[in-house]
Structure 1
Amino acid sequence: MAGSALTGTSVAGLMAELGALEEPRAREVNEKHGDDHGVNLGKLRAVAKRLKTQPELARELWETGDTAARLLALLVCRPKVFERDELDTMLREARTPKVHDWLVNYVVKKNPHAEELRLAWSADPDPVAASAGWALTSERVVKQPEGLDLAGLLDIIESEMKGAPDRLQWAMNTCLAQIGIGHAEHRDRAVSIGERLEVLKDYPTPPGCTSPYAPSWITEMVRRQHDK
């Protein structure tokens, strides 16, 4: 493969290295979350740190279809070089939640087509694509809310979140919480929506961690802001 020749790193060699890093216990835990790999992510990041940025190698790793290889690809790629349609295709190929999350968070958010994709994906009938759109919307709510119709977003969340598939519901709930945390003028309504819909109210949350239930999440984060 041309990319491998240029980088001096073979995809086959990396696949063997990733295979050697497989841990049965890690695979067992990951599979409960829909992720079909058993590579410890700390060790995966160490491999990526050694490789540094290698866009051509990243493309070849992605094309293997292997989950661990795709996660590595997302760590060694150059996010800004991807075209809009290429990212759209990659999202639909992503398959597993971790690849989907890393693609959105590590690549799409840093790409010049992020806003265009946010708008397209948010309206997509595929709930997995729509969840990516809502993840990008949450990012804008936090970092660049100017121009967003926050009241309109709350309207959509109020009418659609309760019956949404899991991944889309989680993304909409995150947006609800971020609106409530960062925008005091919408906080009471965001909390009220969360209380009425009760989405993730009973989600098991370890001691010391913040619940994803929006009213609890909003209350805790606002409290922390005031304590600073």
Structure 2
Amino acid sequence: MAADKPSSRRGTAAKSSERVTLAEVLRWLTARGTKKQIQELARYGIVATQPFGVTVGELKKYAKQIGSDHRLAQELWGTGRYEARMLATMVDDPTAVTASQMNTWVSDFDNWAIVDTACFHLFDRTEHAWKKVAQWAKAKPEFTRRAAFAMLWSLSVHDKDAPDQAFLDGLELIERAATDERDYVKKAVNMALRAVGKRNAKLNAAAIRTAQKLAKSEDAVPRWVGSHALRELQSPAVRKRLATGRA
């Protein structure tokens, strides 16, 4: 599976004289953390390592202030702490991210939120994105496999230059993974199928065929994936958007 490299879409790199240090970031996180937000993480099924209790909205605003800083991202990830790692995915420079780094980070994933944030804010903007979709789709660990389909979902939205064939290949991966009964995998597979099918009319038709095939399965898991995707892919709202070229 291959496609053109997506745009990095990352903010201007911070000048060396203006670099925010790891110590400064940790102080910022500590000052803004609340017990209420830590409780919210649990409510959404996010099993976080040493959380500070800072909202994603606050992290995004702070990331914009920091700018792009690959070295800081590595340092933040190395702390092992939830919000520090979330912030790392938001400030890292996608042009500096290696395939090895992606493999290392994906092996550290321990909840769905860090998976999705990394895929939507960083991994999908690297030159390795499409190769990792294909590789990780075959992986056994739950969050690694979720990453494959979270990234396919993200690329469906963000990679405007990717050819249809890349997504048609993605539908084959979706069909093969649709039997995975693990909750965080099947939900990502479902969202990827829906996202591919909303990209354009051709892919909508292909995604509907895949969803219909899955919906007829005797296995409850692919049947769930297919039927839930069909509801949106065949909806009047999606058909209207595709007809007007606003997918």
What TM-score does the superposition give when structure 2 sets the normalisation length?
0.73
**Which of the numbers 146, 163, 175 marks the counterpart of 2:164?**
146
* Residue 33 (structure 2) pairs with residue 34 (structure 1): no
Number of the residue aligned with 1:186: 206
RMSD of aligned alpha carbons: 2.8
Q: Which has the higher helix share?
A: 1
Residues 1:112 and 2:132 aligned together: no
Q: Which amino acid aligns with 1:57?
A: L
CA deviations over 1:105-160 (Å, ceiling 9, x no partner): 2111111111221221111122321222223334555642433473x755664564
The CA deviation string for residues 34-72 of structure 1, in whole angstroms up to 9 with x for no partner, is 142321122212222222222211111110001111111
Higher mean displacement: 56-65 or 159-168: 159-168
Query: Any unmatched runs of 5+ in structure 2?
Result: 1-15, 217-222
Assess, with a 3 A threshold, how the Cα gap between structure 1 residues 70 and 184 changes in structure 2: closer, same or farther. Answer: closer
Q: Deviations over 1:60-86 (max 9, x none)?
A: 111000111111111111111011111
Partner of 1:221: 238
- The structure 2 residue matched to 1:170, chosen from 164, 187, 211, is 187
**The 10-residue stretch of structure 1 (15-24 or 185-194) with the greater mean CA deviation from structure 2:** 185-194
Alignment of 1:23 with 2:38, yes or no, is no
Q: Which amino acid aligns with 1:192?
A: Q
Q: Is the 8 A contact 1:128 1:168 kept in 2?
A: yes
Provide the secondary structure at the position in 1 that maps to 2:122.
helix
Q: In 1, distance between residues paired with 2:23 and 2:71?
A: 14
Amino acid at match of 2:129: A
Equivalent position amino acid for 1:25 in 2: K
Q: Which residue of 1 aligns with 2:20?
A: 9
Question: Aligned ranges for residues 100-139 of structure 1 at < 5 Å?
Answer: 100-139=115-154
The answer as to 2:100 corresponding to 1:85 is yes
Gaps of 5+ in 1: 202-212
Count of residues in Structure 1 that have an aligned counterpart in Structure 2: 212
Matched residues, percent identical?
Answer: 21
TM-score by length of 1: 0.78
